[in-house]
């Protein structure tokens, strides 16, 4: 990096160097750890310094990255600036080299542009949910709104709460998990609690206890990749249905629980923020999807037996 570019945000630096690639794609690369500064993953707002070495790895997502697709997605709220949607489990948020179609962005590119002749609206993802996670997401309709919402997330002015069923009995009523999260390309899974990783903090509260599982409300104070899944496994209570994090612990406990649905028991149930244009306070809630609610009933009944 040249000395004249010192002090620039990482996302602005990338946009200047890769003008032929959409800002959304570059932000995705940053969020997924495919952009490093001096071999360390950084946020889009990271301020660069003279002499920093920026490495970028971009897979070819092909021409489908913004192709509109008529895929149904529940929209809870929508105005000229943004939309709040419920992403189903199994849906990828944004096209990648491995998921070229059927994503949330493809679905919203269709939903936002149903009026012929109207200006094209490109869905702007402010945050993401894992493919296996369901629940609430806010999506911007312009770069200006995307920028304001991104700042609000960065400044921790957005409140998010998740519902998770985890293996084992969590003894504390409430707690804070503070463990750094980083990426190591030579490890599997790549993301995990790593020495030298970025600060990551999660608050939790016990909602209900069962014989071999605990229902938690989880609040990510920071927003690291796979944070809730990694932190739950880190304290010895991996999320039910997680095929990647805390697998050994989950396999030991799995015979003690009814067979779960083929998905992760993690749902983004509450989202609260101030509207970036009107400053109106907005709060949204999403009930557990049927498969999770039904499984929770099964676990509850098995615990009483």
Question: Of 52, 60, 70, 130, which is the active-site residue?
Answer: 130
Beta bridge partners of 261: none
Beta bridge partners of 216: 164, 206
Would you state the torsion angle of the CA atoms of residues 297, 302, 304, 305, taken in this order, to the nearest 10 degrees? Answer: 140
Rounded Cα–Cα distance for residues 5 and 64 (Å): 33
Contact 93, 102 (CB under 8 A): no
Question: Beta strands 266-274 and 159-167: pairing type?
Answer: antiparallel
Rounded Cα–Cα distance for residues 96 and 238 (Å): 27
Rounded Cα–Cα distance for residues 53 and 63 (Å): 30
Nearest to 270 by CA among 227, 218, 196: 218
279 labelled catalytic? no
Rounded Cα–Cα distance for residues 261 and 240 (Å): 9
Contact 162, 135 (CB under 8 A): yes
Q: Which residues form the catalytic set?
A: 130
């Amino acid at each position: 990096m040249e000395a004249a570019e010192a002090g620039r945000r990482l996302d602005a630096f990338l946009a200047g160097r890769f003008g032929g690639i959409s800002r959304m794609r570059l932000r995705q690369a940053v969020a997924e750890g495919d952009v490093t500064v001096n071999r360390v993953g950084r946020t889009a707002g990271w301020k660069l310094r003279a002499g920093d070495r920026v490495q970028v790895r971009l897979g070819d997502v092909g021409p489908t990255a913004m192709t509109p697709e008529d895929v149904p997605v529940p929209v809870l709220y929508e105005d000229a600036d943004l939309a709040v949607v419920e992403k189903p489990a199994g849906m990828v948020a944004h096209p990648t080299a491995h998921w070229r179609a059927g994503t949330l962005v493809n679905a919203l590119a269709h939903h936002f542009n149903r009026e012929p002749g109207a200006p094209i609206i490109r869905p702007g993802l402010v945050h993401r949910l894992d493919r296996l996670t369901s629940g609430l997401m806010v999506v911007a309709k312009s770069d200006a709104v995307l920028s304001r919402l991104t700042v609000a997330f960065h400044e921790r002015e957005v409140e998010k709460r998740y519902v998770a069923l985890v293996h084992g009995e969590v003894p504390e009523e409430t707690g804070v998990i503070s463990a750094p999260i980083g990426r190591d390309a030579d490890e599997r899974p790549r993301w995990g609690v790593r020495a030298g990783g970025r600060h990551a903090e999660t608050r939790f509260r016990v909602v209900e206890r069962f014989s071999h599982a605990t229902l938690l409300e989880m609040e990510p104070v920071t927003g690291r990749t796979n944070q809730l899944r990694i932190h739950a496994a880190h304290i010895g209570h991996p999320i039910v249905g997680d095929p990647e994090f805390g697998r050994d612990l989950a396999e030991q406990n799995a015979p003690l629980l009814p067979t779960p649905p083929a998905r992760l028991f993690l749902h983004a149930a509450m989202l609260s923020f101030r509207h970036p244009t009107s400053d109106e306070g907005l709060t949204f809630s999403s009930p557990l999807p049927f498969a999770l609610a039904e499984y929770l009933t099964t676990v509850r009944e098995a615990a009483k037996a």
